């Protein structure tokens, strides 16, 4: 087992992804799952994309709500590390 490389400027255990960027992408481009693609959650992102197209855009609300929740509560990246502020 190896330790992950140290990332200067970030606290250990935190993601290099920003929760502000993930939240804004989720709000503005939630229809396309952009916030989830950014954080590395590709399965959820593809599901958001499919739901948005199947429901003729109504599923885009999922992305907007997801983006707001990421901004308020934070979130994690695909490795389970909390997003940085």
Q: What is the pLDDT of residues 57-83, one digit of tens each?
A: 899 899 999 999 999 999 999 999 999
Task: Give 28-58 pLDDT, tens digit per residue.
Answer: 999 999 999 999 999 999 999 999 999 998 9
Give pLDDT, residue 6: 58
**What token pair was written down for 46?**
């593809």
User: In whole angstroms, how large is the CA radius of gyration of the chain?
Assistant: 14
What is the mean predicted confidence (pLDDT) over 16-27?
Answer: 95
Query: Which pLDDT band, with edges at 50, 70 and 90, does 17 fall under?
Result: very high
Tokens 């481009």 belong to residue: 29
């Amino acid at each position: 087992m190896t330790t992950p490389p140290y990332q200067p400027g970030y606290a250990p255990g935190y993601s290099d992804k920003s929760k502000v960027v993930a939240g804004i992408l989720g709000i503005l481009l939630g229809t396309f799952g952009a916030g989830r693609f950014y954080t590395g959650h590709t399965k959820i992102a593809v599901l958001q994309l499919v739901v948005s197209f199947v429901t003729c855009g109504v599923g885009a609300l999922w992305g907007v709500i997801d983006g707001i929740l990421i901004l308020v509560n934070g979130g994690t990246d695909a490795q389970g590390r909390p997003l940085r502020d």
